[in-house]
Chains A and B, each alone.
Chain A
Amino acid sequence: MKTPTTNQANQQLIERYLDQPAALPPGIRAMVEGGPDQDLVQYYALADLDCRMQITADWLVVTLHTLSLFEENSDGTWERTRIDRTLVDGVNERPGLSCRVITFTTEDSSPLLTVRFTYRQRKGMEIVKFILEQKSVETAASDAIGDHAYADALAVPIREARASVSAHRLAVAFRLLSYLNPYRGRVILGMICAILLTLMSLVPPYLTGYLIDSIIRPFESGTITVEKSWQLSLFVLAGIAISQLFQQGFVWIRLRTMAMLGEQVAQDLRRDLYNHIHKLSVSFFSKKQTGSIISRVSSDTDRIWDFIAFGVVEVSLSLITLIALGAILIHMDWKLGLLISVPVPFLIYAIHRNGLTMNRQFLRAWRKWSRLTEVLSDTIPGIRVVKAFHQEDHERERFEERNVAMSDELQAIHATWTSFWPVLMMGIRSLTILVWLFALPRLFGTMNDGVPTLTTGTFIAFLMYLGMFFQPIEVFGQMARMLNRATTSAYRIFELLDTEPQVVEAKDSVRLDPMQGQITFDHVSFSYDGIHNVLEDISFRVHPGDILGIVGPSGSGKTTLVNLVARFYDPTAGKILIDGVDLQDVELGLYRQQIGMVMQDPYLFHGSILDNIRYGQREASLESVIEAAQSANAHDFICRMPQSYDTIVGERGHTLSGGERQRVSIARAILHNPRILILDEATSSVDVETERKIQQALERLIEGRTVIAIAHRLSTLKMATTLIALENGKLVEKGSHEELLAKDNGVYRRLHDIQRELHEMYAV
């Protein structure tokens, strides 16, 4: 059961993103529960379209005794259409492109009530429909369950689409910076270097001004001698050289420290992410796209490095430089200083505005880029189909059309920035001209009876400081984009790190070492969405060394059942006992070490055949690897390959055939030597000869183990000690092969007959 905190989070999402109430209006609840018949709201959903298909806010409410539709009057009161629940017998549902219409009917199909709603309300309505179809009026519900079901149904699509970290952008930036805590010393060193670098960069202009005003001009006026001038000049030049040397030294220390530190933080994040990924439940991976998870570990951590290595210091450095220079310029000459400082906010704003325009253009280019890569991701994997249907010209045209479209967008972007920067630079240079215009009269003293009020040295120093003044402005203009990129990546990383695994190990878990392999299902039910049971009230027992065969049509819950045995999910009701211990109390790592799986589509990792067979037993001897491969009927085909066991199988083992991959996976399972073995339709989709070889391999593999086998093949089913048949998530038959065959119209008998007919057809 979800916690109230989850419900609050769902309600916050609804309030933030959807313009509809986060729960049933209190007025409606009061009307239902405050009446004389002591009724209770169970579940409810919003019907957001009226009969004219206009947006509205009607409420469909299921209570213990009634199904009601509440429509709001213009005065805020509610009009109730009330139907006895016992009258509702059928549901007529009409799906559309963006709406659904449901008519509830009586036993003789007479309409009782019709509601219309958009897809946003679909899941909530399905809950209501499901409850009515179950006809279980005695099912009591608390307010919390109804509220939770409604809020969860609305919030799930948003929750799954967005990053779940909802903190403010700055809070995320600070959390990111907290990763610098273990490296405080190096951060301080980097910052000190940045400050010293700024201070050192202020020295040369000052010394230059001093050289002109205190050495060159006095020498020109004959106040000091040549020797003295030369001596003083050498000191000043030495000062400038030393300050330059220190500057480059500080640059070196800062860049080296922060670049390495950024890499260290990125490495920490990658490690934390990858470790956390292995703790997450299987359900997480079915909701997130593989590409999205991979990019969080790779490109997102890389962006973080960029931010820490350069962003943090660059921004701090620019801020320090801008403030220090502004103060110096105003101190040197407040009139000229103000002349330069006042336009700075306007320049930053202009850069920011240009950034916004560029962002819009980049968005268009991104869209065009997606359209271009669509063609690539379509045609490259499907190149055989393209060639087989001789569609190369069509594909070339499709690519070229999108290539031109994308190129046009990029040209527009280049046109924008190439126009903006010269204009901006012109503005900045105009300021320099303006400074000259204001400074020259004061240098000549034309407004002070020929007595200069500004010295040449001061003015030269001023111009040199001015040259340094504009670079920080550019950094500030780009700061928003840099921060945006870094925090977006940080959100995506923290979302993954904050995801809690759904399958958790008990604190005082029981070590089953060694495990006997007895499996008991005790009234087990399971639901992926919390509403619809995929498995319902399943009970059976498998003794150590027995083989349980599971049969049933597609979608009957066979794979879900074996996923529960592997504890990829926990049951929503009932218990699974292993050797008499609740599986949720068993030490998970040790348990999984003792189970093995051979899947319908076996997964091999990129690497050699040897690596793949040894995947579960890293230290296994070469002799035992070959024995396992021989038992799996794999040794011969492996040895026929030029590189034998050292053959690289490629990504997902694509260089091997389906049957070969299957036999390598059986060899892997044999070497793993599990106590419980799960076979999920291991011999489907292979030819008869390969099936025979796999079958022989499986017979050797299952000796002495508890086996749960999902199978369609008669040969596999005949090996089973016990068979169970599933249909719509329910266990409908249990017994031996002969017992189930004896049942006329039984599920097993039906599947068996179809199999036999197919065999006969192929035999003919």
Chain B
Amino acid sequence: MTMSPNQIDLRRDEHGRLTIRLNGVDVSVTARPCFPWSHPRQFISFRDSENQEIALLRQLSDLSGDAAVALQASLDEASFMLAITQIDSIDKEFELRNWRVHTRQGPRNFQTRLDDWPRPLEAGSSVIHDVAGDQYLLPPLETLDPNSRQLLWPLLDATDKS
């Protein structure tokens, strides 16, 4: 059910667990954006431990105070991706592309399938997923160093649209 913001009483503990108070009872929930790529701050679905929706919030910006802070922190966690800042190498192997990169979170090696291409997002960024299902955020091509740009050039260009 879609809830009005003043009906949503959210809290987040030090372990990152989100609870929502419904009819005077605290229910442990997870916050799932319905449109994580296109509209990540709209239509947030709150789901209980059985993965059943117990509330739907239309806009994050409708919340204020502690509830907004709690939800923002949970959404940051839910939308976490490894953000690539530099590419050392992209080697083609049999049916795999092996990436050696630096991310904002630290260095990382990962593998993508040969026919998996970066998916363009808004503002020139793009995202690619590896064989294990991890998502990697690629910044706009022009913001990267020359070597990274050269390596990424065959796989991406600024004019791509999804």
Cα separation A719 to B95 with both chains bound (whole Å):
51
Query: What are 20 A-B contacts with C-beta separation under 8 Å?
Result: A17-B111, A19-B107, A19-B109, A53-B105, A55-B105, A92-B28, A94-B18, A94-B74, A97-B79, A97-B81, A98-B82, A98-B136, A103-B15, A114-B15, A122-B133, A161-B131, A162-B94, A364-B153, A367-B117, A367-B155
Q: Write out, one digit per residue, whether chain A residues 565-600 have a CB within 8 A of any chain B CB (1) or not (0).
A: 000000000000000000000000000000000000
Q: Indicate if the CB atoms of A17 and B94 lie closer than 8 Å.
A: no
Q: Considering the complex, give the chain A residue whose CB is closest to the CB of B129.
A: A98
Q: Which range contains the number of A residues in contact with the other chain? A: 35 or more
Whether B77 lies near A122 (C-beta < 8 A) is no
Binary interface encoding of chain A residues 368-409 relative to chain B, with 1 for a CB under 8 A from any of its CBs, else 0: 001000000000000000000000000000000100010000
What is the chain B residue whose CB lies nearest that of A405? B159
Interface centre among A17, A18, A118 (most CB of B within 10 A): A118
Q: Are A157 and B154 in contact (CB under 8 A)?
A: no
**Chain B residues, Cβ within 8 Å of A56:** 106
CB distance from B7 to the nearest CB of A (A): 22
B96 touches A162 (CB 8 A): yes
Given contacts A98-B80, A98-B82, contact A367 B94 (CB under 8 A): no
What separation, in Å, do the CA atoms of A160 and B96 have in the docked complex? 10
A55 vs B103: C-alpha distance in the bound complex, in angstroms?
9
Decide yes or no whether B36 CB sits under 8 A from chain A: yes
Residues of A within 8 A of B106 (CB): 54-56
C-alpha spacing A95/B33, complex, angstroms = 12
Kindly list chain B residues whose C-beta atoms are within 8 Å of the C-beta of A157: 130-133
Given contacts A55-B106, A119-B132, A120-B132, A161 and B115 within 8 Å (CB-CB): no
Q: Is the interface of A mostly helix, strand, loop or mixed?
A: mixed
Please measure, in the bound complex, the distance between the C-alpha atom of A492 and the C-alpha atom of B114, giving whole angstroms.
14
In the complex, the answer to whether A491 meets B131 with C-beta atoms within 8 Å is no
B94 contact set on A, CB distance < 8 A = 162-163, 165, 488, 491-492
**Is A101 in the interface zone, CB < 8 Å from B?**
yes
Binary flags per residue of B112-149, CB closer than 8 Å to A gives 1, else 0: 01010100000000000011111110000000000000
Least distance between A406 CB and chain B CB atoms (Å): 12
Q: A17-B98, A96-B79, A163-B94 are in contact. Are A360 and B154 (CB under 8 A)?
A: yes
Residues of A within 8 A of B82 (CB): 55, 98, 118
Tell me the minimal C-beta distance from B37 to chain A in angstroms: 9
Are A92 and B49 in contact, CB atoms less than 8 angstroms apart? Answer: yes
Query: Is B95 in contact with A99, judged by CB distance below 8 angstroms?
Result: no
User: Do B77 and A361 touch across chains, with their CB atoms under 8 A apart?
Assistant: no
Query: Which residues in chain B, 56-101, are within 8 Å of chain A measured between CB atoms?
Result: 74, 77-82, 93-96, 98
Shortest A755–chain B CB gap in Å is 25
Q: Report the minimal beta-carbon distance from B131 to chain A, rounded to whole angstroms.
A: 4
Q: Which of chain A's residues have a CB closer than 8 A to the CB of B74?
A: 94
Question: Is the C-beta of B39 less than 8 angstroms from some C-beta in chain A?
Answer: no
Q: Are A96 and B78 in contact (CB under 8 A)?
A: yes
With A19-B107, A103-B15, A370-B117 as contacts: A96 and B155 at CB distance below 8 Å: no
With A111-B13, A122-B132, A162-B95 known as contacts, the answer to whether A360 contacts B153 (CB < 8 A) is: yes
Q: Which residue of A lies closest to B40 (CB)?
A: A97
For the complex of A and B, the 8 pairs showing the least CB-CB separation, nearest first, are A55-B106, A363-B154, A119-B133, A98-B135, A163-B94, A120-B132, A157-B131, A96-B78
**Interface membership of B21, Cβ < 8 A:** no
A75–B81 Cα distance when bound, in Å, is 29
What residues of A have a CB within 8 angstroms of the CB of B107 in the complex? 19, 55
Question: Closest CB-CB distance, A397 to chain B, in whole Å?
Answer: 11
- CB-defined interface of A162-194 with B at 8 Å, one 1/0 digit per residue? 110100000000000000000000000000000
Q: Is A479 an interface residue (CB 8 A)?
A: no
Contacts of A367 in B (CB 8 A): 117, 154-155
Q: Name the residue on B nearest A365 (C-beta).
A: B154
Least Cβ distance of B90 to chain A in Å? Answer: 10
Contact B135 A19 (CB under 8 A): no
| A122 to B134 CA separation, bound complex (whole angstroms) | 10
User: Once the chains are docked, how many angstroms separate the CA of A165 from the CA of B96?
Assistant: 13
The smallest beta-carbon distance between A496 and chain B, in angstroms, is 12
Is A248 positioned at the interface, with any CB of B under 8 Å from its CB? no
Query: Which of B49, B154, B157 has most chain A Cβ within 10 Å?
Result: B154
Minimum CB–CB distance for B149 against chain A, Å: 12
